[in-house]
Amino acid sequence: MELYQLKSLVTVAELGHLTRAAERLHLSQPAVSAQIKALEDELAVVLFERHASGMTPTAAGRQLLPEAEAILAAAQALRGRASELRGGVGGRVRLGTVADPGFLRLADVLRTAVERFPLLEIDVHQEISGAAFAKVRDADLDAAFYYGELTHAAVASMPLREFAYRVVAPAAWSGRLAHAGWEAIAAEPWVMTPAISTHRALAARLFAAHGAEPVRHVEADHEAVIASLVAAGVGVALMREDIAEAQAASGDVFIWGDQRLSTWLQFIHRRDRERDPPVHALRDVVREVWLAGATPPRRSRRARQASPRPKRRTAARVATRGV
């Protein structure tokens, strides 16, 4: 049997659908179907029950699935170990980011990672929080920062910090809204994020708690854009507390009431990549930077010269995509 056949087995079992599995694997549907059939022939067992709505593992398939996952994880670990023997952790990690880099301590994380692991390549993709989670879950990203508390069996998470959102309105509206009740605030135009975002989920929770829905809203997908729209008088919004306090101090917005909606900043990755050296290395760097609570100190030139250099050194590449 081949590793690519086992990967098809695991992917079809997870998604329950041949077409979606083919899309994730970047293969044609007939190619994935042929791989599953070849594996069934070699193992002399039927691995899936095929029906109109998709495919589900048979009893034999469910028994063999953990073995296939273990083999794929071991193969990935072997590749990583070989990379270490060549001179250090290497490979590419597709990292999703959300919000502003300063809040994530992204510069510290990337600087530490590329200095410590010169063979590691990191592709940075700016995402909306919910999209970041979905892309990690679906293996379109290897890891991501994420706002929220979603859970999924395929996704492992590392909480970094709890934070809150506040309700804010344009400073010019403070005279008529500062002492207004929820009904008046809900009736105002709101600036919302896309439906997939954690920000939108928090807003929906707030409105549901008061038995209301936003009647009019403008949609924006970045906190800086939301802040500028509120300051310009476009509408009311939820705003991250540190941004809200800074905007209020500068006279651009006012914070309405004492509503605080808490959520978490987390670092997430595919659970089956736990032993993958590039992902493991990046996770360790994130943990170190966040535990330190400040910019990690640079190593001295003498310390860097004393450290063993990898036999094959390539420049770490950080590619930023998205908006």
What is the full DSSP assignment across 2-58? Answer: -HHHHHHHHHHHHH--HHHHHHHHTS-HHHHHHHHHHHHHHHTS--EEEETTEEEE-
- The reported pLDDT for the residue numbered 118 is 84
- Does 17 score more than 70 pLDDT? yes
Among the residue ranges 40-49, 282-291, 293-302, the one predicted with the least confidence is 293-302
Give the residue with greater pLDDT, 191 vs 299: 191
pTM greater than the 0.75 cutoff: no
Task: Compute the distance between CA of residue 165 and CA of residue 190 in angstroms, rounded to an integer.
Answer: 15
Non-local CB neighbours of 180 within 8 Å, separated by 6+ positions: 256
Q: Quick check: 319 pLDDT over 80? A: no
As a whole number, the mean pLDDT across the chain is 85
Structural domains in the chain plus CATH codes: 3-82 (1.10.10.10), 84-161+264-321 (3.40.190.10), 163-262 (3.40.190.10)
* 84 exposure class (CB count in 10 Å sphere: 0-12, 13-18, 19+): middle
Distances in Å between the Cα of 34 and the Cα atoms of 3, 39, 307 are 14, 9, 49
If one counts every other C-beta atom within 10 angstroms of the C-beta of residue 75, the result is 13
Confidence at 100, pLDDT banded by 50, 70, 90: confident
Which residues neighbour 320 within 8 Å (Cβ) at sequence distance 6 or greater? 124, 125, 126
User: How confident is the model at residue 137, as a pLDDT?
Assistant: 93
Q: What is the DSSP string of 109-126?
A: HHHHHHHH-TEEEEEEEE
